[in-house]
Amino acid sequence: MERRWLLQMVGWTCGLLVFWWGGDILQAEESASAPPPPPSAARKVLAFYYPWYGNPKYPEGSGRWSHWEGVNPEKKQIDSSTNYPKLGAYDSHDPKVLAQHAHWSKQAGIHGWIVSWWGRGDFTDRAMPRILDACQKAGLHATIYYETVRDQKTPENAAQELLEVLKTYADHPAWFRWQGKPVLFIYARALNELGRDGWQKAIDQLRQNYPQGVLLIGDRMSRKVARLFDGIHTYITAEYLKGRYLQEVRDWCEKAFPGWVALARKENKIATLTVIPGYDDTNNTRKVGFQVPRYEGHSYALQWEAAIAARPDWILITSFNEWHEGSEIEPSEEWGDRFIEITRIWSDRFTQAGNQGFLQPAKP
């Protein structure tokens, strides 16, 4: 029954978008004089991944609670989480948990994880060796999401932290590379901490001390960031999508996605687009939260179709397991593995599509 629902949803979404979007997408790309889209072998699907969960009941885990609050297994409720994980309140350091996450990601057609990273010695950093090993076994890759400049907010400190990451992890076979160079993602918080001039200094120092080469993907869809970094992305589109019904989601994607890709292409930088299944942080500790409905998966499918039509290098998923903000595709009690399956359908279309016919509906 679930499979039939997924196929019906894909067919409905594709037909709707072919009718409304075909000409505008091509016109937007042509007017931008953008380079041609990447070959299918170059297309990647990456998911933002959070290794900050701890539960002392896992003998091979971290040995302590982290991030989970108010856990009630009997009622299948967690106060700090919008939904309840199928695995329960797990431990991110546990090898079996990581193996299951890697299996689900592979099943979904995801190529790698962008792992939230908060500094050397942090809880998230201590999970990295096991994350890389789990990814290697599953045929996945991983890199870090540089969340913040620790301690003093200086270019020297940022460059040194990123250099330590590269020296410690980038030689691992599972580290995510693009055209032979290791990739790092930089979150907007870290961008703001140094500003444009600060990051120019940090990048110059990093490249000087790491002559092998590195690719940095900055979290902002702007020309200035595209010129400074090797690629651009946005972590979350929830602020743009909140309060929108499905047709409005479609309309926003139609306007935003081609322009974002063209922005990167004009600067000859890596183009990425981000899709979200939904968003709901009203159940965590923030004073004011908001929701972006999942619409049973239809909104997610609309975003995927629009992203594929815009032809980026990579499509990013927010998120695999950010449970506090309700943006996870990881299986839950509420949604089962529905969003793993939806992801698999669209990731297959993205990676296998040719330059022609990528707007054709999938056949049931």
pLDDT one-digit tens code per residue, 114-145 = 999 999 999 999 999 999 999 999 999 999 99
Mean pLDDT on 194-200: 98
Mean pLDDT on 308-312: 97
Instruction: Identify any residues that bridge with 115 across adjacent strands, giving them in sequence order.
Output: 49, 144
Q: Looking at residue 285, what is its pLDDT? A: 60
How far is residue 186 from each of residues 21, 103, 114, 159, 220, measured CA to CA in Å?
A: 32, 26, 10, 12, 10
> Which domains are seen in the chain, by residue range?
2-34+49-352 (3.20.20.80)
Res 33 pLDDT > 80: no
Chain centre to alpha carbon of residue 146: 13
Give the span between the Cα atoms of 21 and 24, in whole angstroms.
6
Res 20 pLDDT > 70: no
Are the C-beta atoms of 169 and 128 separated by less than 8 Å? yes
Percent of the chain with pLDDT over 70: 84
Per-residue confidence at 310, pLDDT binned at 50, 70, 90?
very high
3 vs 336, more confident: 336
Are the C-beta atoms of 320 and 105 separated by less than 8 Å? yes
Res 358 pLDDT > 80: no
Q: Looking at residue 40, what is its pLDDT? A: 62
Q: What is the pTM of this model?
A: 0.89
Are the C-beta atoms of 148 and 118 separated by less than 8 Å? yes
Average pLDDT, the chain: 89
26 vs 279, more confident: 279
Mean pLDDT on 309-335: 98
Mean pLDDT on 242-269: 97
**322 closest CA partner among 91, 76, 62, 47:** 47
Q: Looking at residue 364, what is its pLDDT? A: 28
Per-residue confidence at 39, pLDDT binned at 50, 70, 90?
low
Res 18 pLDDT > 80: no
Give the span between the Cα atoms of 44 and 316, in whole angstroms.
8
- 220-250 pLDDT, tens digit each: 999 999 999 999 999 999 999 999 999 999 9
Q: Looking at residue 19, what is its pLDDT? A: 29
Of 7-11, 221-225, 268-272, minimum mean pLDDT range: 7-11
Q: Looking at residue 352, what is its pLDDT? A: 87
29 vs 310, more confident: 310
Ramachandran angles phi, psi of 191, nearest 5°: -60, -45
Give the span between the Cα atoms of 218 and 230, in whole angstroms.
8
